[in-house]
């Protein structure tokens, strides 16, 4: 077990909160964005004005004027960022993380710990070179509900993450580091109370970094091969071939320039996959699922237990021979961000065994006697394989290629939905995470007595639904799932998960050392390509 000391407390400010400042380099890391934006505007939007200035003053003086404007705007941006940094404060209490911002228009935001969905430590390239990091707190809410603390020292961000996770789980500093001495009080403690007058100040609270055990890691060669065996790059290759043939036949190479945006898009797709999937590894810990990945921008995610709303295991047609799968999740808070894909991937390229391990991270008990057989039937089965309730034969009139893959299975703990013949997909929704359910029926479905069963989840890449079931089966499933969801929510325990696992923090916990019940014996093995 390792312990992390929280950030040094600053003088207690108004409202009794222990307000702290971000790192002094923060204005520089924020100010350069203003300079880059200004240069981009000048280069792309004011080219005609620049030509007029050059014709009037001459090339030499024109460059001096432009350089002066850039320096002036850059200095103004840095000054404004510095002033904004001086009024920016954050505080951590036993119930929320508070962030105060705004130079002209003051704003104070709160991230309630009981609604905490995930805690991420993100290091952009420039911040990593300076040993800094930003802490992102994702909470259940709409767009803009996340709280971002940028920037902190990397060690400070890691310590603050441990503190926030411990407080959200109901574990205070005294439960980890021992009781305070008589006559003292913890400065800036979980309740945010100031130090008792006349008492000897106690050391800063120390929170334990919960132990972890790595469960899988993505090899870089597999990541590269998976990108090459994805559909978008091959679409680009086909487009290049077609345009070359057309240009030769027509005798005009002007059409080749149409490929430039497509090439840029494909390049961005490939780089995005490499940048986000490089060094990807997952670990289990009492404080949640820990994911680490990134090449130029590193990201360390911690998703507390029970915060994952739905899981999707998917496979494209070119991944079928090596049997690779992509595992994605819905987490409240991630769906409202622009980089939802970065925060919602549980495994970019998993073998079947690793996909089972990833599912176990979210749902340790699948609710069936033979989890691996059920997972195999969900991934590759047809009709009623594995006990699934399939779509009837009449569904072939609306989905002639994939109707045999449509199916649903209700277990003791989750709802499993499978679909897709060429692009296979399996969605797992724990009963207690069911937001709402419904039936959809189009005019052709109504004539064939079919209906689609839909489970509504939080915003994210996973959309749980199964199409073209028999309408009577879908109606019965609606009643059964409503009953199971109510029962699961009624018996669900409190979200103070680490309080029950307090003994595990002091040593190698059972959670971190447990073996997935439905994982294959060797999850690191990779099938031959």
Q: What is the pLDDT of residues 324-351, one digit of tens each?
A: 999 999 987 775 554 556 678 999 999 9
Mean pLDDT of 398-420: 95
Residue 521 has pLDDT above 50, yes or no: no
CA distance 318 to 484: 37
| Average pLDDT rounded to a whole number, residues 97-124 | 86
pLDDT attached to residue 104: 80
Mean pLDDT of the chain: 78
pLDDT at 497 over 80: no
Note the pLDDT of residue 165. 87
pLDDT of residue 55: 63
Cα separation, 138 vs 308, whole angstroms? 12
Please write the tens of the pLDDT for every residue from 54-77.
Answer: 667 666 676 777 777 777 877 777
pLDDT score for 16 = 65
The per-residue pLDDT for range 503-517, each reduced to its tens digit, is 433 333 333 334 454
pLDDT at position 196 is: 41
State the average pLDDT over residues 89-116. 86
pLDDT at residue 371 above 60?
yes
Instruction: Decide if pLDDT at 286 tops 90.
Output: no
Cα separations (Å) of 283 from 160, 214, 317, 500, 512?
19, 4, 29, 20, 8
Q: What percent of the chain is modeled with pLDDT above 90? A: 39
Looking at residue 398, what is its pLDDT?
94
pLDDT grade for 257, boundaries at 50, 70 and 90: low
d(CA 80, CA 358): 45
Of residues 184, 196, 156, the one with CA closest to residue 16: 196
CA neighbor of 224 nearest in space, from 348, 341, 340: 348
**Which band of pLDDT confidence, cut at 50, 70 and 90, is reported for residue 501?**
very low
Residue 37 has a pLDDT of: 67
SS (H, E, C) 179-228: CCCCCCCCCCCCCCCCCCCCCCCCCCCEEEECCCEEEEECCHHHHHHHHH
pLDDT at 377: 96
Residue 166 · residue 207 · CB < 8 Å = yes
- Identify the pLDDT of residue 484: 93
Least confident residue range of 47-51, 122-126, 379-383, 477-481: 47-51
160-179 mean pLDDT: 68
Instruction: Check residue 193 and give its pLDDT.
Output: 41
pLDDT digits (tens, 9 = 90+) for 431-461: 999 989 999 999 999 999 999 999 998 888 9
As a three-state string, the secondary structure of 343-407 is HCEEEEEECHHHHHHHHHHHCCCCCCCCHHHHHHHHHHCCCCHHHCEECCHHHHHCCCCCHHHCE
For residue 497, give both structure tokens.
């998960």
* Half-sphere CA count of 423, side-chain side, radius 13 A: 4
């Amino acid at each position: 077990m390792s312990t992390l000391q929280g950030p040094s407390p600053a003088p207690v400010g108004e409202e009794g909160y222990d307000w702290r400042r971000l790192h002094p380099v923060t204005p520089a890391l924020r100010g350069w964005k203003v300079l880059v934006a200004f240069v981009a505007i000048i280069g792309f939007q004011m080219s005609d004005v620049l030509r007029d200035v050059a014709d009037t003053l001459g090339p030499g003086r024109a460059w001096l004027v432009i350089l002066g404007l850039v320096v002036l705007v850059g200095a103004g941006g840095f000054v404004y960022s510095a002033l904004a940094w001086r009024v920016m404060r954050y505080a951590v209490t036993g119930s929320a993380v508070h962030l105060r911002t705004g130079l002209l228009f003051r704003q104070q935001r709160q991230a309630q710990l009981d609604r905490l969905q995930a805690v991420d430590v993100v290091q952009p390239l420039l911040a990593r070179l300076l040993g800094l990091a930003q802490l992102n707190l994702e909470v259940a809410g709409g767009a803009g509900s996340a709280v971002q603390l940028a920037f902190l020292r990397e060690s400070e961000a890691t310590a603050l993450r441990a503190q926030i996770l411990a407080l959200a789980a109901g574990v205070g500093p005294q439960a980890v580091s021992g009781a305070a001495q008589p006559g003292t009080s913890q400065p800036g403690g979980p309740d945010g109370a100031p130090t008792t007058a006349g008492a000897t100040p106690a050391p800063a609270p120390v929170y334990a970094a919960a132990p972890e055990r790595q469960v899988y890691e993505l090899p870089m060669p597999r990541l590269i091969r998976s990108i090459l065996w994805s559909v978008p790059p091959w679409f680009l290759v086909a487009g290049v071939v077609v345009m070359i043939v057309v240009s030769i036949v027509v005798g005009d190479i002007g059409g080749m320039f149409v490929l430039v945006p497509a090439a840029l898009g494909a390049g961005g797709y490939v780089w995005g996959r490499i940048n986000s999937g490089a060094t990807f590894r997952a670990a289990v810990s009492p404080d949640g699922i820990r994911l680490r990945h990134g090449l130029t921008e590193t990201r360390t995610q911690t998703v507390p237990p029970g915060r994952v709303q739905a899981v999707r295991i998917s496979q494209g047609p070119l991944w079928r021979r090596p049997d690779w799968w992509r595992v994605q999740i819905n987490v409240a808070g991630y769906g409202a961000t622009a980089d939802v894909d970065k925060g919602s991937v549980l495994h970019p390229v998993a073998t079947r065994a690793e996909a089972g391990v990833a599912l176990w991270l979210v749902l340790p008990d699948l609710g069936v006697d033979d989890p691996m057989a059920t997972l195999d039937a969900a991934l590759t089965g047809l009709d009623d394989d594995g006990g699934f309730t399939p779509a009837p034969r009449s569904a072939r009139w609306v989905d002639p290629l994939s109707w045999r893959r449509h199916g649903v299975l209700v277990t003791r703990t989750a709802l499993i939905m499978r679909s897709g013949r060429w692009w296979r997909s399996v969605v797992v929704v724990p009963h207690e995470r069911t937001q709402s359910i419904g039936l959809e029926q189009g005019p052709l479905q109504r004539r064939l007595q079919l209906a689609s069963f839909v489970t509504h989840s939080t915003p994210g890449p996973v959309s749980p639904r199964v199409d073209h079931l028999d309408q009577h089966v879908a109606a019965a499933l609606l009643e059964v799932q409503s009953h199971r969801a109510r029962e699961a929510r009624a018996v669900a325990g409190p979200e103070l998960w680490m309080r029950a696992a307090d003994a595990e923090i002091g040593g190698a916990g059972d959670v971190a050392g447990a073996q997935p019940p439905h994982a294959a014996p060797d999850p690191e093995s990779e099938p031959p390509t």
